[in-house]
Every structure is written in structure tokens, then in C-alpha cells.
Amino acid sequence: MEQDDAKLQFDENGNLRHLLSLKGIDAILLTELLDDAEGYLTAPGALPARSQSLAGRTVGNLFFEPSTRTRASFDLAGRRLGADVLNLDVNTSSRKKGESILDTIYTLEAMQVDVMVVRDASDGVPAYIARNVKDHVSVLNAGESDVSHPTQGLLDLMTIRQHNPDFKNMTVAIVGDIQHSRVARSASEALQTMGIGELRLISPPALAPDAGRFPGARIVDNIADGLKDADVVMALRIQRERIGNLDGVPGIDEYFANYGVSYENMKFAKPDAIVMHPGPMNRGIEIEGALADGPRSVITRQVTNGVAVRMAVLDRIGRIMSTQ
């Protein structure tokens, strides 16, 4: 099933049409997307890069779950490529899976929306939509349950590559609620494709991933072991919205002491290690506020890179549209 989704992403000529998952995106395409994204970065304070590669196209943002960064950056990315952007306000509770989502999709298709950017709390929704849209429509996954968040994975990969492009000799440590994190899944898929030296996933046992979900990664429950000599440390929020029962999850003080990314715990990592977080942050729980605001933090750079990678993905999708 997931393998089919990976194939579904490409058209009959092997060009990227939908972005549903980073599975099936090889190192060459990952590198090209990151290189393209670098081209959209401009100096702080300068006017942002623009092009007209999506002029006349319409991007629809369909967020059935809350979002600040992802939604705003898809919105800006689309506009900076000359597209019209439609931000649909969707009331999560009123939508049921199945027919009603397809009704929304068919309605937008009838208005000639060309790219549907979808965030949803259920597994499989972006692929389901991709299987049901007309040939001219592309679907971009903007966060799918705990399964996948491919553009986040790309922006994380880009931010890590800016720090150090030598993935093969690098240790990346991801700390927090690994079990419920689509960010960890997509980052891990991208890093494995790039041949990451070592990937460590650190969490209390209650938030450790199910067996087999992160092939090739080392699962660790002790932060000193997990951060030892790491080049990159990524903190993750506890995804309370996906946790039915918090039994076994340490209370805030204990969590911060044992799993918080703090100045204290960063002593285990390499002296020049960077600190990442996808946002939204809970300061004082999974990350120390001063560290997040300090010189080792690349959290705002991740946000900037997020617009650039979304421009790169939209531009890539737009290339097949221009040949239709």
C-alpha cells in the first residue's frame, strides 16, 4: 500500500506530480529540490525571490488540522511563484472521511484549482485524494496523521545540509514524542536516503516508536547516550492531540530534565551542534527557551527554508503542468 503511494507520486514519464511521502524520492531528486530551494533564498531584509512559473495556476490550501508555519509558507510560496492561492477554512469536526472530502475536492476541481495542499489527521487522506483527482491536479501532503510530512522533511534536510553536507559522517539525534511524530518519520526517510551516518531517536519508553517504523535508526531512552557527539539535535513537541492516554509519560519537570533539549543536555552533543525544532514549541517542556533563541538554534532558519522548499516543490509540479 505505502509502496503504491510512493509510485503514485510520479507521472508516466517519471516526473514528480504529487508529493505524498519522502519514500520513493531518491537522493538525486532530494538534492535537486534542495538545490532549487537554495536558489529561492535571499539575504535577510532583501525582497523575496519571485517567479511567474505558476502564473495562471491556483493552489488550494486545505488544512483539516491546525497549522501556522506550513500553511503560511505554502500560501507565500504559491504567491511568490505567481499562483492564485485559495485558503479554505475547514471545520474539522464537520467533515467525515469518504464521500464528503471528495465532494470538497470535486468542488475545487470545478473551480480549476490545480494544486491541492492537504493536511489531515487521518492516515491515507492525501493518497486517497491523489487517486481521485483529475489528471491536471496535483496533491501535496502538508501533514498526514503521524505518518508523513514530506515538505517538513525537505526543509529539515535543507537546514541540516546548510550546517554540514556530509550526511554519511553525521549523527542526527531527534528527541521527544517519536511515536506520534510525522516530522520524525519524514526527516528519517530523507536522512536514510541520503545515507546518514547515524540516526538516533530519543524518547521516554512510553513515547518510543512501534517496532519497524524507523528502519535503520537507533532507539534510545537516555538523553546522555542519545546526544553523545551528535551534530544535529532536533526537539519535538509531545503530540497530545494524538495521545489517548498520558500514562507513563513523565510530568513536565521530569520530562524537561530527562528529555528536554537544554543547555545542560546539549553538553553531550558536539560543541558546534545545531538545535532544530519544527514548531510549535513548548518552551520549558521539550526545549529550553533561551537555547531556542540562542546562537546554536536554527529554528528560524528552518522557517525561512520552509518557504523556499515549498517554492521548489510547487515549481517542480508546475513544470509538468506547463506541458499539459
Residues that bind ligand NCD (CB under 6 A): 69-70, 143, 149, 152, 182-183, 237, 239, 278-279
- Residue 66 or 165: which CB sits closer to ligand NCD? 66
By beta-carbon proximity to ligand NCD, the closer residue of 129 and 183 is: 183
Which residue number is nearest to ligand NCD in terms of Cβ? 237
Q: How far is the CB of 149 from ligand NCD (least distance, A)?
A: 5
Three-state DSSP class for 117?
strand
- ∠ CA 263-253-146, rounded to 5°: 85
Q: How far is the CB of 119 from ligand NCD (least distance, A)?
A: 7
Calculate helix-pair angle for 99-110, 125-132, nearest 10 degrees.
50
* Shortest distance, position 237 Cβ to ligand NCD, whole Å: 4
Closer residue to ligand NCD (CB): 70 or 265 = 70
Q: Rank residues 133 and 155 by Cβ distance to ligand NCD and give the closer one.
A: 155
Residue 296, judged by CB atoms within 10 A of its CB (0-12, 13-18, 19+), counts as middle
Count CB atoms within 10 A of the CB of residue 10: 16
Q: At what angle do helices 150-163 and 182-193 cross, to 10 degrees?
A: 50
Q: What is the DSSP letter of 12?
A: T
The answer for 45, left when phi > 0, alpha when psi is -120 to 50, beta otherwise, is: left
Q: What is the nearest approach in angstroms of ligand NCD to the Cβ of residue 146? A: 9
| Distance in Å, CB of 271 to ligand NCD, minimum | 28
Sign of the Cα torsion 303, 87, 115, 42 reads negative
- Taking the least distance from each CB to ligand NCD, the nearer of 145 and 262 is 145
